[in-house]
Amino acid sequence: MRRIIFILLFLNFILSIYSQKHKIEILENIIEEALQNNPQLLAARKGVSAVRTEIAQATAWESPQIGVEFRQTPVQSFPNPLKNGMETDYYFQQMIPFPGKLSAMGNALQNKVSMTEMEYETLKRKIIRQVKSAYYELYYIQRKIQINAENQEFMKKFVDLATQHYEVGMGNQQDILRAQTELSLLINEGMTLQKEERTTKAMLNALLNRPIESEFGFIPDIEVSIPPLTLDELLQLAEAHRPELKAMKFAIEMNKAETRAAKREYFPDIMTRVMYMDMAMTKNDFWSVMVGFNFPLFPWSSGKYTSRVEEKELRVNQSEYELQSMKNMIVFEVQEAFVKLETYKNLMLLYKTTVIPQAEQTLNSTIAAYQTGKTEFLMVIDAYRMTLMAKLDYHMAVMNTMNSLASLEQAVGLELENILDAKSNE
């Protein structure tokens, strides 16, 4: 029984080591980790929270003033104000804003909070796009490394085959040298690809806020399944869901609310004061109440307030033009991403269903012909290179297809599954 337990523990240890060395990186898990740990997003979340605190600051009254005043104290009593004073006044003073001023500013800041939240969503979409781009690039590099390793083994067999043909008089030494040269080029390319892989892994680690030298696992094969999409539907979804548009609409509402708040500055604030007067020379004390107003529209002060209103109205116009500019840019981004997606998707299918099978068939027939002495070794090399390029181009098409899809998702403001859900609910 102890031996069985020991064997099971040993196997579990071996499997854990194997899984660490052959860790599979799933895109959904990577994105979730980025959304939780990316420092840009963490900073943006704190920024949203900070903006929320501005509402309480802007809608609160000014703090009251409490004071004491010593009056009619003889000069001979200086510096003691309590000595022989005739009167001591105690007062409480409060500035009361004109009704509606603070609520208007609070409304403006509430729109600012909503705008900041949409800016956070925009940044989140950007980070997701960057993670996907690096993920798909790593996929392509790892496939190039795989193909390179396979081709090194393949070329070693070519070297042996060319050597055998040379030894029996069916080939020449140039064939051996060509095969050895191709093998050397593949080995050199493999080392270059390893450097590219480390660079891309470092980029992903930075996006995930991992230590830069952290090991990153293997990207599994990508099964591309993209249902038919129409440009008109995507444009409608982008107008409804793109966070940049929502942020700019909130910016317009914020500027309009600030304009209303600026116009309310025309109205006077109210200053109130209650005072208790302690009289030293009489038995009777006194009290008083003061009410005062400020007058913003006096000739020497009105320019400050009218200019502020003018500024806010111009900000509204500026925001409206920026919104229209963003709408135009989004139409372009959606169209560009849509065209690229369709192009690369068709190219990927062409390589998968036609080009690669034909290239492999050509290579196999060329090898068979070389083995029987019916063709030159150079033809084998050419067929091999054609097959190699077809496989690399296929994986590049997969990468470009998925990158185009990621760009389209960012342009629309929704993930593919959400796009499909929105279409089905229409």
**H/E element holding 68?**
strand 65-71
Domain of 351?
25-425
The predicted structure's pLDDT at residue 82 = 64
Residue 6 domain flag? no
25 vs 118, higher pLDDT:
118
Segment 340-354 mean pLDDT: 93
Cα separation, 400 vs 245, in Å, equals 27
Residue 177 domain flag? yes
Cα separation, 144 vs 421, in Å, equals 35
15 vs 167, higher pLDDT:
167
CATH number at residue 363: 1.20.1600.10
Segment 91-99 mean pLDDT: 90
Residue 153 domain flag? yes
Residue 10 domain flag? no
Which pLDDT tens digit goes with each residue over 213-225?
Answer: 888 888 898 888 8
When divided into structural domains, the chain yields a total of: 1
Q: Is the pLDDT of residue 271 over 60?
A: yes
Which long-range CB contacts under 8 A does 158-166 form with residues at least 24 apart? 158/182, 158/183, 158/380, 158/384, 159/183, 161/370, 161/371, 162/377, 165/370, 165/373, 165/377
Residue 2 domain flag? no
Bin 228: left if φ > 0, else alpha if -120 < ψ < 50, else beta.
beta
Q: Which of 111-120, 153-162, 279-288, 375-384 has the highest mean pLDDT?
A: 111-120
Cα separation, 258 vs 105, in Å, equals 6
Band (80; pLDDT cuts 50, 70, 90): low
Residue 404 domain flag? yes
Q: Is the pLDDT of residue 18 over 60?
A: no
Which of these ranges, 152-161, 199-208, 248-257, 332-341, has the smallest mean pLDDT? 152-161
Band (266; pLDDT cuts 50, 70, 90): confident
The predicted structure's pLDDT at residue 17 = 36
Q: Please check whether residue 146 is in contact with residue 223, taking contact to mean a CB–CB distance below 8 angstroms.
A: no
How many Å from the N-terminal Cα to the C-terminal Cα in the chain?
63
Band (171; pLDDT cuts 50, 70, 90): low
The predicted structure's pLDDT at residue 5 = 47
Residue 15 domain flag? no
Q: Which of 13-27, 65-79, 87-101 has the highest mean pLDDT?
A: 87-101
Q: Closest Cα to residue 405, out of 245, 223, 247?
A: 223
The predicted structure's pLDDT at residue 75 = 61
158 vs 418, higher pLDDT:
418
The two structure tokens encoding residue 277: 């007067």
Q: Please check whether residue 156 is in contact with residue 179, taking contact to mean a CB–CB distance below 8 angstroms.
A: no
Residue 359 domain flag? yes
Q: Is the pLDDT of residue 12 over 50?
A: no
Which pLDDT tens digit goes with each residue over 23-66?
Answer: 788 889 999 999 999 999 999 999 999 999 988 888 888 888 99
The predicted structure's pLDDT at residue 119 = 95
Instruction: State what percent of residues in the chain have pLDDT above 90.
Output: 44
Segment 65-84 mean pLDDT: 73
The predicted structure's pLDDT at residue 426 = 59
